Amino acid sequence: MTDARSSSSFPTIKAVKTFVTEGVGSGGDYHNVAGGHWLIDSPISTPMSKWEEYKKSRTSWGINVLGSFCVEIEASDGTKGFATGFGGPPACWLVQQHFERFLIGKDPRDTNDLFELMYRGSMFYGRKGLPVAVISVIDLALWDLLGKIRGEPVYKMIGGATRKRLDFYCTGPEPAAAKEMGFIGAKVPLPYVADEGQSGLLKNIAFLKKHREAVGPDFPLRVDCYMSLNVPYTIELVSRAKEEGLHIDWWEEVLSPDDFDGFQQLKRAHPDTKFTTGEHEYSRYGFRKLIEGRNVDILQPDVMWVGGMTELLKVAAMASAYDLPVVPHASGPYSYHFVVSQHNSPFQEYLANSPDGKSVLPVFGDLFLDEPIPEKGYLDVSVLDKPGFGLTLNPNARLVDASGLLGMKPGKA
C-alpha cells in the first residue's frame, strides 16, 4: 500500500512568517543576553580587542546588534515548522521580500532544491554572512516541518542514530565548573589579543595555567581564540603552552576565517597540535579548501549559520571522506540531531547560557517549553524522539510578528 504522505498529495508550503524576539535572553542569537553575562562582559580576545574602547564588552562593538529572529513555515495541511537563529529585522526582511518566493507552493521535502534556489538567488549579495544565516533558519524550519508531517525526529530522517548517548563538552568561563557538572571537557575563551604583545602573551599563559591547575592534568582543556590571533603569535603561544606543560587539547579559531593558508604554517610549526575552525565559515564551498588542505583537525560549523541542516550534511559528507571530525558550534537541539546521526561527530558543544557559566540552562532561553539540555554532561538520545526537532514553542514567548516590520518594499517591474 502506498503511503499517502509520499504521494502527490504530500502537503505543500502554504505560508511563511517571521518574528523577532523582544528583549534579551530568548532565541538563536547567543549574544543577545543581559549585561554582566560572561558571554559579553568577561575578558575575551576578539578581532576588536586591539582598540581599548572595544575591549571591555563585546556589545560595545555590536556583537548583539542583530538579535534573534524566528521562521514559521505552514504547510497546506496546517502543520507548522519553526526555527530560530540570528539576524533580527534584516533577516525577516530578507525572508519576506526575497526568499519567500522560492518557498510558497513547493514540496517541503525538496530541501536540496530549495536551498539551491535561495543560495543561488542571493549569490549576487550573499554567499556568506547574514544571507546564508537566514537561509539556514529557513532550512531548519523546513526540517522541523517535515518531521512533524511525518511524525519523526529529524535525526531519523538524516541517517538515524549512531549511538544511544550524546556526550558534551562545555564552553564557559570556568572549566572547573564544567568538570564538576560532568562534562567530558571544557573550552575557555582566551582573554588577551595578539596586539597586546609579549605582556598579553604572558598573561594568556598565566590564565591557562590557572585553569589547567584547577581541572587537573588529564581533563581535556580547549582554548577559543575567536579569530583574534595571527600566525607568528599563535606559533609562539602554542610553544609557550607546551613549555609550561599545559596540555591544551585544541586551539580554536586562532586565525581570521579567510586565512586558509595560515593553518598550513601552523601545522608545519606544530604538527602534533590540534587546530580547529569553521564556526564562522559558510556553505560547502567555504569548507572545501579547509577540508582538502588537511591543515585543521576538527571542523566546527554552526548549523544556524552554515546553510542549515541541508548544507551541513554536505559538509559532513566531504569531511568524512578525509576522516575529519565535525563537532558543530553550539546551536542546541539542531546540532544534537545532527551529531547523533553522524559517525564522524564524536561529541557536541554545550555553550554555557547561565550568566556566570556555572550551571546548565536552555541554549535558546525561554523560547521553548521543552528544550533538552545535558544532565551530568550527556543526553540520552531517546530524549530527541519527538517529531521534528521536538521543540514546543512557549505560548508566552516574546515574539513580535515581523510582517511589514521595516515598512518599505522593493520596487517591482
The residues annotated with a catalytic role in the active site are 329
Q: Which DSSP string corresponds to 212-270?
A: HHHH-SSS-EEEE-TT---HHHHHHHHHHHHHTT--EEEEES-S-TT-HHHHHHHHHH-
For residue 407, give the 3-state DSSP assignment: coil
Phi, psi of 376 (to 5 degrees): 55, 30
For residue 72, give the 3-state DSSP assignment: strand
Task: Name the residue type at position 61.
Answer: W
Query: Which one, of 254, 191, 224, lies nearest residue 349 by Cα?
Result: 224
Phi, psi of 68 (to 5 degrees): -80, 155
Phi, psi of 331 (to 5 degrees): 70, 10
Measured CA to CA, the distance from residue 114 to residue 175 in angstroms comes to 41
Task: Name the residue type at position 354.
Answer: S
CA distances from 196 to 78, 97, 243, 244, 263 (A): 56, 44, 21, 20, 22
Query: Which one, of 86, 341, 44, lies nearest residue 172 by Cα?
Result: 44
Phi, psi of 73 (to 5 degrees): -115, 120
Q: Note whether 189 and 45 are within 8 A (CB).
A: yes
Dihedral sign (CA 150, 154, 160, 165):
negative
For residue 299, give the 3-state DSSP assignment: strand
Phi, psi of 351 (to 5 degrees): -90, 110
Q: How many helices (H) and strands (E) does the chain have?
A: 12, 12
